[in-house]
Amino acid sequence: MLVSLTIVRYPKYFVPFAFISMAILRLPLIFSKSTFWKLLGCGKNGTFDINPDWQQWGMMAVWTNKADFEDFKKTSLVWKWWHFFTTEQWTILCKPYESHGKWNNKEPFGSPLSDKNYSGPIAILTRASIRLSKLSSFWENVPTVAATMSHAEGFITSIGIGEAPFVRQATFSIWESVNDVKKFAYRQREHAEVIKKTHAENWYSEELFARFIPVETFGSIRGENPFKIND
């Protein structure tokens, strides 16, 4: 199994085509070899974000193998659309390492068995559908956690992604190691307190937490590849 996340940036004068793409590109994706896919919007500040970045959009997909992804990249209308309308495209390919929870009632990344001896870089997906009655509590607590994550030990980069503004949000982040993620999640006071609140106050109607091993990246966002994998 291979997971791809592609982030693209549209020039300002092509932003209307970004909105159109969310409808048009669904058809070729339905007929692709992807076993699961989501077209996504992006936040401005690299995490759960109430302010959308109308120039930045993305897609996460799951493939049976790399050959299916490469075939999609060569032949799909989706990739051709991006190359025509966007100025930048960045893709990270990953192998599932660990996954808990569901996304639209599905377990898209299966039930991988994590390699306890793995010590390299790790990518994290935190995704949630927020209950309408809990939106206020959720967004009141996001800025504090977002501000601390970028300064956490082992943090490399992150991208805020989502299916719908305000209510279906996700963060994809990359860290130097699993231990760095655990330190931030459970030892960093602000983040640990928010985790407790999510369960105590039942913020989410659905949530998913997944870890991935990055295997390849290519392209650029804002002029650079935010995470280069050493050969």
pLDDT tens track for 214-231: 999 999 999 999 998 865
Average pLDDT, integer, range 126-150: 78
Residue 42 lies in a domain: yes
Q: What residue numbers bound the domain in which 28 lies? A: 2-219
Residue 51 lies in a domain: yes
The continuous run of DSSP H or E covering 77 comes out as helix 77-85
pTM of the prediction?
Answer: 0.92
Reference 35, options 128, 129, 106, 98; nearest CA is 106
CB neighbour list of residue 74: distance below 8 Å, 6 or more residues apart: none
Residue 229 lies in a domain: no
Task: Quote the number of domains for the chain.
Answer: 1
Alpha-carbon distance of 116 to 122, in angstroms, equals 13
Residue 227 lies in a domain: no
Alpha-carbon distance of 3 to 108, in angstroms, equals 10
pLDDT exceeds 90 at position 112: no
Average pLDDT, integer, range 126-151: 78
Residue 224 lies in a domain: no
Alpha-carbon distance of 198 to 103, in angstroms, equals 17
Residue 228 lies in a domain: no
pLDDT tens track for 57-85: 999 999 999 999 999 999 999 999 999 99
Q: Which of 12-21, 41-50, 139-148, 171-180 comes out lowest in average pLDDT?
A: 139-148
CATH number at residue 198: 3.30.70.100
Average pLDDT, integer, range 163-190: 82
